[in-house]
Structure 1
């Protein structure tokens, strides 16, 4: 039987560390709305978690504001999950600097930066789902897909993005997948030309973006010129697989928090 006295004195369950989801930010309000919807999906998957959304730039609240709010509410730790598809300057320089400043402001607050979402296979599957939602059959050999990404000043980062193309093509009968970039080459016209040379008669443009914004609009305008009959898949957005990946990054961050505490107590 339940021991009322023992139950009354049982230790309360520990409160999970909050998850601070950090997005890029944009001047385009559609971007913040799409990211907020994606974070709502993470909350729905883990209603027990305190999940905060903040932005690196151009949108509010800021990372500093999120950290200060967490500290003001008495939390002793938090896991920061970058909602970023690449490990470039923002993930390697900007965000660590913001977290270091947060630790200086709040010495009792443990902040762990989790890995970026990156090119996780589940996000590649999410893009494939978005393509299918346009009415594109996975078994159609006349389909050519352009995977449109931001692009980076780092050739190594762009090369990693280029490798997503064959992974997106796997399991389909499409004529091919070509990767293009909004801010560097190759651009959309080159990708479309390459697909047509491989026999593609139907072009689908799939964004390797979490949210719409000025760059996805730029890609759309380019498509009006070089592929006016193309179909356009949605951004990854609030796809359920994004929530899975973000929560896995959070779980790994919690593990690092626990390991650091054990090391300090040893």
Structure 2
């Protein structure tokens, strides 16, 4: 029996977040008709991951793949997801739970983010354009470094005045500081790219701070229900189903 794919997002009090994630999973289903794809959340939205795993086990499934809809390996990936799996087991769910890697980093995510930037009006090769890549921010330095690495890759050969990472919380620089850095490098126009999957509190914070710093800033939407993001979800699912010792190098 093909194991269900249980996608787990962070969750948000903002209803736009859950709606966007649900739209993404509709794209996943369209790419893989017949696959049992289910939505869950770690917190703040329903259904919670532990409840979905318990329901899957009650239906008679004995194996499931959990795909964290997270762009980096910060606290939620390292602590919250394993904790929810352990809680489901403690409730008596007789289920082999395979947890995939998070979505990022992946070139397809970068491609989707660049498309969102282009849709906001950022043109490739625009020499006076400075680009901020805004992510959530984490107390886990490698997660922040991964966003900064994306910004460095974008800067190479982009033709822009510069690209720098910024964060909504937990670490520096924030968006206004990043904009100041880009202006010091000669940027006359500013665009803010989104390293967020869906709308919510932190993307709104980024948007507000960017507009305070520059009312004419170009603002990209979160990645959302993009086909390449959906492809990454399916690739993570497929990779998790194959035991590590059987994977080709």
Return the TM-score normalized by structure 1.
0.88
Q: Which residue, 224, 233, 237 being the options, matches 1:250?
A: 237
Asked whether 1:212 is paired with 2:199, we answer yes
Q: Which residue, 70, 79, 102 being the options, matches 2:65?
A: 79
8 Å contact from structure 1 (residues 125, 168) kept in 2: no
Post-superposition offset of 1:177? 0.8
Question: How many residues are paired up?
Answer: 245
Asked whether 1:141 is paired with 2:130, we answer no
| Mapped partners of 1:156, 1:116: distance in 2 | 14
8 Å contact from structure 1 (residues 34, 211) kept in 2: yes
| Mapped partners of 1:154, 1:232: distance in 2 | 26
C-alpha root-mean-square deviation of aligned residues, in Å? Answer: 1.6
1:45 matched residue in structure 2: 31
Return the TM-score normalized by structure 2.
0.93
Question: Helix, strand or coil: the match of 1:252?
Answer: helix
1:235 matched residue in structure 2: 222
1:28 matched residue in structure 2: 14
Q: Which runs of 5 or more residues in structure 2 are unaligned?
A: none
8 Å contact from structure 1 (residues 103, 111) kept in 2: no
Q: Which runs of 5 or more residues in structure 1 are unaligned?
A: 1-14, 260-266
Asked whether 1:226 is paired with 2:213, we answer yes
8 Å contact from structure 2 (residues 42, 49) kept in 1: yes
| Mapped partners of 2:230, 2:40: distance in 1 | 16
Post-superposition offset of 1:225? 1.7
1:118 matched residue in structure 2: 104
1:129-168 aligned at under 5 Å gives the runs 129-168=115-154
Q: Deviations over 1:163-191 (max 9, x none)?
A: 11012234421111111110131111111
Asked whether 1:186 is paired with 2:173, we answer yes
